[in-house]
Amino acid sequence: MTSDFEHATALLRQYDMDRYLSTLLAPEEHRSGLMAIYAFNSEIARVREVVSEPLPGEVRLQWWRDMLEGTEHGAIASNPVAGALLSTIDRYSMPKPALAAAVAARVFDLYNDPMPSLNDLEGYLGETVSSLFQMSCLILNNGEDPGTATAAGHAGVAYGLTGLMRALPWHASRQQMYLPKDVQSRHGLDPETVFRGETTSELHAVLKEMRDHVRHHLGRVRQAASQVPEPCRPAFLPLALVEPYLRKLEATGFDPLKQVAELSQLRRQWILWRSSGDVLTKI
């Protein structure tokens, strides 16, 4: 019979290849825990894709929050990702409130409300992506406080914002906007042009500022590298893909509303393998 962890691994491979590939380069003893936490992230990040309207999505997310907060759920036994997550939480003494906060933040994904400001966007990425880097460090540090909050915070903003820019065509097609309103205003961008699929000079200016912001946070990760214990460094492997994605996004002739910045699986594997010695010196 397929175990909970095998199911989590299969789900991760299907929906989050970057983290799946990076986990294969982590120490074998902690791979199952990493797969579980990443599969959990995939589950809550995909909720909008599996519901027809926001209310059922909120119900699904509330199920995860209730489970993490200790409310009894008879269906946990039939949810292998939840089973793998609970086993990982027990093994590594993981903080459930941080995981519940990540679930709560995902409610934003269910609606088409605009992202008010860059500060709000960083807060959203902190709860949904930075926390994932921090949890990964906790796993790799065998449940002991890794002291990596600063590096994880900046890593989450860099990686998460890159992912949002890559997903811009998809989000725009459903009238969803993660580009912050204050940055849009600074460059005179009308969001309706984005929803109509019009790639304007104003949009290019907004995206350039966003790419600069990603690189600023990568620099902050490098500055915090000395605070990251050696066992925790594999948690930051996905960052090795950020700069290659950024170069795709800013390539001459690239249309950010009609193309997706993608790398072949072989190239991703090669980049991650090359960086696995010490990714924090190579990002």
CB atoms within 10 A of CB 140: 25
Reported as a single tens digit per residue, the pLDDT across 60-104 is: 999 999 999 887 656 666 799 999 999 999 999 999 999 999 999
Average pLDDT estimate for 180-197: 98
65: helix, strand or coil: helix
Reported as a single tens digit per residue, the pLDDT across 192-231 is: 999 999 999 999 999 999 999 999 999 999 999 999 999 9
pLDDT above 90 as % of the chain:
92
Please tell me the distance from the alpha carbon of residue 61 to that of residue 186, in angstroms, as a whole number. 34
pLDDT score of 75: 67
Reported as a single tens digit per residue, the pLDDT across 112-146 is: 999 999 999 999 999 999 999 999 999 999 999 99
Helix axes 242-249, 201-223, angle to 10 degrees: 160
Given pLDDT bands bounded at 50, 70 and 90, which one contains residue 1?
very low
Q: Which residues are CB-neighbours of 114 under 8 A, at least 6 positions away?
A: 177, 181, 191
Domains in the chain: boundaries: 1-111, 140-283
Q: Contact at 8 Å (CB) between 283 and 239?
A: yes
Indicate the pTM of the whole model: 0.96
Q: Contact at 8 Å (CB) between 177 and 194?
A: yes
Please tell me the distance from the alpha carbon of residue 226 to that of residue 268, in angstroms, as a whole number. 26
CATH class as words, domain 140-283: mainly alpha
Mean pLDDT of the chain: 95
